[in-house]
Chain A
Amino acid sequence: MNAPLQPNIGFPAYFRHREVAGKVVLTNFEGNHIILEQHEFRAFVEGTVERGSELWTRLDEKNFLRETYRVHEAASALRERKHFLDQGPILHMLVVTLRCNETCIYCHASRANMDQVETDMSKETAEKAVDIILSSTNPFVTIEFQGGEPLVNFEVVKHVVEYALKKNADIGKRLEFTMVSNMALMTEEKLDFLLEHKVQLCTSIDGPEKLHNSQRKLNTLDAFQKARYWIHRINERYGEMGLDKTLYHVEALLTLTKASLAQHKEIIDTYVALGCKTIFLRPVDPFGFAERTRLKIEYPRSEYLEFYRRAVDYILELNAQGVEILERYAAIFLTKILQGTDPNFLDLRSPAGPGIGALAYNYDGNIYTCDEGRMLAAMGDDALHLGHVGESRYRDLMGHETVRAVTVASNLDGQPDCEQCAYNPFCGTVPAHNLKTQGTIYGHMPDNNICMVHKGIQDYLFEKLGENDPDTLRAFERWTTIRPREHFVHDE
Chain B
Amino acid sequence: MNAPKREFDDLSVSITLPAETHPVNVVQGAAVSFIDRCYVLMDRPSPQQIRVTLSAKEAVDGEETLGKIAEAFEARLRSSDLYHRVAADNEVLTDAVVAQAFGFGNAPSASPGLDELEAFDFSDDAFDDPLGIAQTWEEKHGRPAPSAPPAASAQDEDPK
Contact = CB atoms under 8 A, between A and B. Distances in A.
Interface of A: 4-5, 7, 9-10, 12-17, 29-30, 45, 66, 69, 71-72, 74-76, 78-79, 82, 85-86, 393, 395, 399, 401, 416-417, 419-420, 444, 446-447
B86 A9 contact: yes
A416 B126 contact: no
A58 to B, nearest CB: 18
A399 B80 CA distance: 36
Interface residues of B, number: 35
A7 B98 contact: no
Contact of B109 (A4, A12, A71, A86): A86
A75 B100 CA distance: 6
Nearest to B103: A75
Contact of A13 (B35, B93, B96): B93
Interface in B124-140: 124-128
A446 B32 contact: yes
A15 B86 contact: yes
Given A66-B89, A447-B36, A78 B29 contact: no
B94 A14 contact: yes
A45 B81 CA distance: 12
B110 A71 contact: no
Interface string B30-45: 0011111000000000
Contacts of B78: 4-5
**Secondary structure dominating the interface of B:** helix
5 contacts: A82-B102, A393-B124, A416-B28, A417-B32, A420-B29
Interface in B45-87: 78-80, 82-83, 85-87
A454 to B, nearest CB: 15
Given A82-B101, A446-B32, A10 B106 contact: no
**Secondary structure dominating the interface of A:** mixed
Contacts of A399: 126-128
A446 B33 contact: yes
Interface string B95-113: 0111111100011011000
B29 A14 contact: no
B155 interface: no
B147 interface: no
Contacts of A446: 32-36
Nearest to A448: B36
A75 to B, nearest CB: 3
Contact of B82 (A7, A72, A75, A447): A7
Contacts of B106: 75, 79
B149 to A, nearest CB: 35
Nearest to B30: A420
A477 B109 CA distance: 29
B101 A14 contact: no
Given A86-B110, A446-B34, A446-B36, A420 B83 contact: yes
B97 A416 contact: no
A447 B35 CA distance: 7
Most buried by A among B79, B97, B107, B126: B97
